[in-house]
Amino acid sequence: MPTSSWSALRSTPSARHLPHLAFLLVAVGTLMRLITVNSALCWMVAPPTVLLVVLYVGGLTRWERLGARGSRTWFALVLLLWFWVLWALPSALAPWYGWLAVPLAVVAQRLPGRRTSLLAIAVITVLLMASLTRISGGPDPEVLGPPIAAVWATVALYRTQQRLTRELAETRGELARRQREAGRLAERARIARDLHDCLAQELAGSRMLLQAAVRDWDRRPDVARMQMRAVVQALGAHLTETRSIIGDLTPPALADNDLGAALRDLCARTQSAAGAGHITFRTEGEPVSLSTDQAKALLRAAQTLLANACEHAYAAHIRVTLSYANDETASVEVADDGAGFDPTAPARAKGRGFGLSGARDRLHEVSGTLTVDSAPGHGTRGRATVPLRTRVMAGTP
């Protein structure tokens, strides 16, 4: 038995104590009956019985220090003392004393080495049969059967327990491995969403501004310079967002715990991009503080819906609405009059469609939902919603 198991045996009450408790009860009970009989034979057997109890308890409490050779030597001495006392006891006491073979079989299975354990159990069986045969005057099945069957039943139960313990350890190890793998995949998905929401969409907007500046460079240099300044300003914001992702920090737009201000700023920055439609923003209901994760999920969802409306739908008008409904939900709706699409159709181009799935995953982590209603030629309406039942002040983890 491993060292840790013996330590647990000494410190934590469990079923493992029962065989050893039975050993002590039988040994001490036999000793008390010997003292009661008060015969010369009984006083001759009593000291070895006391020595057996002391040796048994001492070996268990110092099992770690015995080592392989020490544990075998200790068990051999315990076995010899037990057999000597069993052989010397009167016929009235010997059968009860013979039941000590069961806890001894438990200890034998914990000896180092499978062959050693099996040999020790075989020796216990032979010694028990010899003693009980002498007591009964011959091989009586009614006398020999119960204790020997108990010894080998104990062996079988112990082997089964060891097998189940190994299987449980393997199952726990596999579960831990899968949990680590799931955590790794979830973290990769989170980073992918952050990169898409921050870098991909923001860089796409900067690219649109640069393309417009190139077109206006010769004909309208003042407009081109203004667009270049907007790109420089946007790239500064992108750099801050990227550092936020690296440090797993709150988006800078949410630093003041104001989702409305963050959305208003997002709309203004998107509006400044060449080719973007007219964007309006409004708030409905009494603002309620959200947790950082909830506010971040809503902001990222709005960012995704706005980017889709500008980059893919070519919408002329976009309406963004932040709503608080009866202290139960908070939602952000982005509606546009763009080209629309079929939500059930697969993404046609590589990289398209990840934004919506990433937004759904992020909202799902805070018990939120994302619904998108659209049809080709009829615009798109996307709504991200989070519950307020478990509100936490924004800025708390």
**Domain containing residue 383: CATH number:** 3.30.565.10
pLDDT-derived band at 244, boundaries 50, 70, 90: low
pLDDT-derived band at 153, boundaries 50, 70, 90: confident
- Could you tell me if 248 and 383 lie in one domain? yes
- Could you tell me if 330 and 199 lie in one domain? yes
**Of 90, 122, 139, which residue constitutes the final position of a domain?**
139
Question: Pick the residue with more confidence: 255 or 271?
Answer: 271
pLDDT number for residue 287: 86
pLDDT-derived band at 201, boundaries 50, 70, 90: low
pLDDT number for residue 99: 73
Which of helix, strand or coil describes residue 258? coil
User: What is d(CA 183, CA 43) in angstroms, rounded to the nearest whole number?
Assistant: 68
pLDDT number for residue 371: 92
pLDDT of 220 above 70: yes
In a domain? residue 92: yes
pLDDT-derived band at 322, boundaries 50, 70, 90: very high
189-193, 213-217, 335-339 — which is least confidently predicted? 189-193
pLDDT number for residue 292: 82
In a domain? residue 284: yes
pLDDT number for residue 382: 93
157-161, 217-221, 320-324, 350-354 — which is least confidently predicted? 350-354
User: What is d(CA 98, CA 234) in angstroms, rounded to the nearest whole number?
Assistant: 88
pLDDT-derived band at 93, boundaries 50, 70, 90: low
Nearest residue to 389 via CA among 299, 288, 298, 297: 288
pLDDT of 212 above 80: no
- Could you tell me if 186 and 134 lie in one domain? no
pLDDT number for residue 77: 87
Nearest residue to 274 via CA among 237, 312, 223, 201: 223
- Could you tell me if 131 and 231 lie in one domain? no
- Could you tell me if 187 and 128 lie in one domain? no
pLDDT-derived band at 245, boundaries 50, 70, 90: low
pLDDT number for residue 37: 65
In a domain? residue 70: yes
pLDDT of 340 above 70: yes
- Could you tell me if 268 and 204 lie in one domain? yes
Question: Pick the residue with more confidence: 370 or 147?
Answer: 370
pLDDT number for residue 331: 93
Mean pLDDT value across residues 272-285 = 80
In a domain? residue 168: no
What percent of the chain shows pLDDT beyond 90? 9
DSSP 18-66: HHHHHHHHHHHHHHHHHHHH--HHHHHHHHHHHHHHHHHHHHHHTHHHH
pLDDT of 4 above 70: no
Nearest residue to 368 via CA among 392, 384, 349, 344: 384
pLDDT-derived band at 349, boundaries 50, 70, 90: very low
In a domain? residue 223: yes
Mean confidence (pLDDT) of the chain: 75
Q: How many structural domains is the chain composed of?
A: 2
pLDDT-derived band at 11, boundaries 50, 70, 90: very low
**Of 108, 139, 170, which residue constitutes the final position of a domain?**
139
pLDDT number for residue 9: 39
pLDDT of 347 above 60: no
Residue 81 lies in domain: 3-139
Q: What is the pTM of this model?
A: 0.42
**Of 139, 160, 191, which residue constitutes the final position of a domain?**
139
- Could you tell me if 218 and 314 lie in one domain? yes
pLDDT of 303 above 60: yes
- Could you tell me if 235 and 369 lie in one domain? yes
pLDDT of 393 above 50: no
pLDDT number for residue 321: 94
- Could you tell me if 192 and 87 lie in one domain? no
- Could you tell me if 95 and 189 lie in one domain? no
pLDDT-derived band at 150, boundaries 50, 70, 90: confident
In a domain? residue 147: no
pLDDT, tens only, 31-80 = 777 677 666 766 777 777 788 778 888 777 777 777 778 888 888 888 88
User: What is d(CA 362, CA 356) in angstroms, rounded to the nearest whole number?
Assistant: 10
Nearest residue to 384 via CA among 362, 397, 241: 362
Which range, 73-82, 280-289, 354-363, 383-392, has the best average confidence (pLDDT)? 280-289
In a domain? residue 117: yes
- Could you tell me if 368 and 257 lie in one domain? yes
User: What is d(CA 356, CA 342) in angstroms, rounded to the nearest whole number?
Assistant: 13
In a domain? residue 263: yes
